[in-house]
Amino acid sequence: MPTRTAAQQRADAGVAYDAYLAECPARHLLDRIADKWVSLAITALADGPQRYGELRRRLASVSQKMLTQTLRNLERDGLVTRTVTAAVPVRVDYELTDLGRSLLPVMHAIKSWAEHHMDEVHTARTRYDTDRP
């Protein structure tokens, strides 16, 4: 009998992921895509391939270490590809995969919601903080 992947075994067994369960891998993925640098990097890459320096300038205040870690994690999860082109200096481009692009509508919606509702959230925070002794 040929070896089957975990995904094939789950499909055969009809097992679905349930992020409410502590050990569910989907919970870890939710944690990853909820990260602010991940969501900003994904939306920044919506315009097409970008070099590391371009991304760093676009994501104001991200540290080199955090951007590198974020891009590596996105590449590991299959959301971003990293293409190295032999040149002097070496050119490295990052681009969303089809899987990464499938997240764009969700990420754009969350980013847009945050930008449009920040005044309301700020008002609620101020009210909450003044109502508490």
DSSP string, 73-126: HHHHTTSEEEEEE-SSSPEEEEEE-HHHHHTHHHHHHHHHHHHHHHHHHHHHHH
Report domain extents, the chain. 18-131
Query: What CATH class has 18-131?
Result: mainly alpha
- pTM comes to 0.79
Q: In the predicted model, what is the mean pLDDT of residues 27-54?
A: 93
Instruction: Render pLDDT for 64-114 as a digit per residue (tens, 0 to 9).
Output: 999 999 999 999 999 999 999 998 888 899 999 999 999 999 999 999 999
| Preceding amide of 89 cis, omega within 30 | yes
